[in-house]
Structure formats: structure tokens, C-alpha cells
Amino acid sequence: MSPVELFLSIVTSAIILNLLLRLYAVLKHPSKPFPPGPKPWPIIGNLPHMGPAPHKTLAEMVPTYGSLIHLRLGSVHVNVAASASVASQFLKTHDANFSSRPKFSGAEHGAYNYEDLVFAPYGPKWRMLRKICSVHLFSNKALDNFRHVRQEEVAVLTRALTRSGSAPVNLAQLLNVCTTNAIARVILGKRVFGNGDGSAGQESDKFKEMVLEMMVLGGAFNIADFIPSLKWFDLQGLTGKTKNLQKRFDVFLSKILDDHKINDSDGGEHTDFLSLLIKMKDEVNPEGVKLTDTNIKALLLNLFSAGTDTSSSTVEWAIAELMRNPKLLAKAQLELDTVVGKDRLVSESDIGQLPFLQAIIKETFRLHPSTPLSLPRTAIESCEINGYTIPKDSTLLVNVYAIGRDPNVWAEPLEFKPERFLQGSEHADIDVKGNNFEVIPFGAGRRICAGVSLGLRMVQFTTATLIHAFDWVLPEGQMVENMNMDEAYGLTLQRAAPLVVHPRPRLAPDLYSI
């Protein structure tokens, strides 16, 4: 045998041996199947199955396919967690593997090309933005320092509601003004809407419309994200609409940033969050990342959109549910009258002594989670969940809506029953901060909403004040039994019809003028 023949023989034997070893490995450790799910269509996959309200459509699949569902949307593998136990596997056991976000057009064109906190990929930039917010905005110290701001803006809201007289008010509008101004005073050191009277105007309405449009566009499934070859056609018009909306937001945010730079140059001491961010631009963090103007505007976009919309809509849902359940409203008012009395308004420091009020908020989050489908995450590496293969680069969606209505966990899951969270009940120890996966309105794990503590404080305090300070009546001719409780789907779960009501003061008149 010639040297060449010997060499070829050795190479051939090595190749055959390698193939045999691979075959043995496959036979000994066969690859696990994907989770069950509806049969995909050619090319487009399961996109036609999503429907106009994907959180509901996916919840309806659970009895057929179980609480871990596999979809193929175009060329993208998508896994849906629809129970507390499955969500825990992804967001606790395998949290590090699902700590990043997939690339998609909504974030690319609507969130400064992933330069924000919410959609940034897991890495140095995300850690920098997260740390800045955690320390300077959402720490207990920061929240306590700005407690007076929240209390002052909610007091402004009560005065605005009192001035309505016999006319019905659009509660959604006034709540939006309240939450936006409360956040703006912390971030910018000033209100952005109105003159301090709490009323809604053309500017605040326009801003809310922009936020709602962002949530609707962000919640839509863009075909181009799943079939890349169709990207340039923008068949649904979503990319064009998102780019247009981004331009309008950029005008709003650029003016805020430019005006603030001018004000900060006066040599005075500025303690608001934006001034801090501007000062930090010259710093390089230990991982070699610098803050840019784009990062700052992207962060402001996160705070002004997600931070205002989620809080105000949750309060609106809570008041609507209590109006439909007058006995629960009376019980909540009795608790507030007992703890707070009727000679002062509620203080944020009272919340810890109001277990029924806290139970109302938990139940509202359970039935009406502000984000019904969690923001998507992506698998950094392949892994196994409950005996199924979760491939690398597949997308994870957690159906928070389905988890909160799981009949295996919740008795009468469609009923509004705050008492299920009271002491002595089965779910008394559940919180909503990502520790108990039965109710995770803010998500869980590394990518849990950074503002969970602020959001919870704002929702609890605002709802407590509205319950304590007012009785709530529908406009003449409307009955609570027929209230419209339909949802408008988007990234956040809005009411389809804003809550229009008559607020009737129930405390001494002089309290509303404070």
C-alpha cells in the first residue's frame, strides 16, 4: 500500500468512525422533541393562529397542547409559557439563558435601535442603564425621597375630580396627567402637562395617543420579523407607522434634553434625574461603556411610555371592578375610614396597614395584567424544559394573562375576588414582585420591570386615594351590570372604552383644597 493510499485509508476510517460515534450518541441520547403546538402552515407557520388578541388565543390553546406550547412563526421558533410552573422553569431555573431580547422591527425603529433599557440585549450597556435606574430612580431611598411628589400630584388629581361638579369625567385622561406629571417631576424637576390643576388638555391627550399607538404597534406581530424576505415590503404598514411615531417622540424628547442642557449650564444645582444623566455622559463605566444622548432619550422614552401607561391603566381597571362590585368598594372604604379616618387624605405610609386595599391591587394585576404577554426573550443556548427541546435563538413569550386565569390554580378565575389574597387564604403570601409566578404582572428574573417598586407604590396609593375620597357613579342611564369591560390589545392591556364616571366627594370639602 502506497503512502497516499495509506493516508486515504486512515482519513476514510476516521470519517467513518466519527459518523458511527455520532450515530451512537444520537441513538443513546436521542434529541428531545419540541413542545406540542398547532400544526404550522407552510412558510408562514402559525402566524394565522395568533388572531387579534394573541394573549387570549394562546390561552385557549392550553387545554389542547398544555402549558408549554411551541409555535413556528415564519422561520422563528417561539415557545409560550402558560402556567406558573413552566414560567418558573424559564425565568428562574434557566433565567440566565433567557436574559436577552430577540431582534425585532418594533424595537429597532421604535426604541432607538435597542439603545434603551427595555429592549437592549443583555450585556454591558443594559447593565449600565439598569444600574443607573436602580440606584437613582427605583431604590427605596430614591422612592422615599420623592414620596412628596407622588402625594402632591395625587392631591392635584383629587382637586381636578372635585371640580368636575355634576359633569362626568374621563378618568383615564386625568390618571394619565397625574402619573405623567409625577414621573416628570422626578425625571425633569417639573411637570410636562398643565399648570398644576390636574386637568387634561390637548397636549396631554396628544401624548397619551402617542403612547397608546406605541403600545398597539409594539404588541402587533409583524410578519417581516418572522419572514425576513418580506421585510422590505412592509405588508402590514407597521414599520412605516413605527418610524413615523418614533420621529414624533424624538422631537418631544430632543426638546426636553436640549432645554435641560441649557438650564443645567446656568451653574445652579440641579437634582433631577435627567441632570444626573447629563453629568454622567463624560464618565466611562468599569465595562468601558459610555452614556450617550441616544441612550438618554431612549431611557426617557421607556420611562414616559411604560412608566405612565401601565400605572394609570391598572388604577382604571381597579376602579371599574370595584364599581361592578359595590360590596367590595364599601368594604375597602370601611377599611380606609378605620385606618385613615375621614379628617385627612390617605398618605403613602398608610398602605402597609391596608391589607384589603393591597388585595384589591393584587387581584387587579391578576385579572388585568398591564403586560398580558411578556416582552419577548431569546434563548442564548439550546436547553431542555420539562423534557422538551428549546432551541438556541428561539423566542420565549410568557402568557401572564393565562397564568393569572389558570383554573388549576385559581378558584373561579374569571371572578374579581380580592379576598383570595387575604390572611388565612390559600394565596395570602403571594406578592407581585416576581417571587411568586402565579401573579407576575412585572415579569420575573433578570429582565423583570426595573420600575416594579415605583409602579406598585403609585398604583396602590392612587387607588387608595380614589376609593377613600370619592364614591363612584356611572353617567345617567348606564348600569354597572352592563359596563364595558372589553380589552384593547397591545403591549399593555388597556380598556377598550375609557372609564367615564361621576366622582362624588365623601370627605369634608376643605380636604380637597389642600
Task: Indicate the annotated binding residues for heme.
Answer: 449
Q: Give start and end residues of each alpha helix (H) in 137-285.
A: 140-145, 147-162, 171-187, 202-219, 223-226, 238-264, 273-280
Say how far apart CA 179 and CA 296 lie, in whole Å.
20
Say how far apart CA 358 and CA 363 lie, in whole Å.
9
Per the rule left: phi > 0, alpha: psi between -120 and 50, beta: everything else, 51 is: left
CA atoms within 13 A on the CB side of 63: 5
The Cβ of residue 451 has, within 10 Å, a number of other Cβ atoms equal to 23
Q: Could you identify the residue written with the cell 476510517?
A: 13
CA distances from 438 to 83, 398, 413 (A): 8, 12, 12
Residues β-bridged to residue 390? 383
Binding residues: 449
The Cβ of residue 119 has, within 10 Å, a number of other Cβ atoms equal to 24
Burial string for 402-432 (b: 16+ CB within 10 Å, else e) reads bbbbbeebbeebeebbbebbeeeeebeebeb
CA atoms within 13 A on the CB side of 25: 6
| 93 three-class SS | helix
Say how far apart CA 210 and CA 192 lie, in whole Å.
15
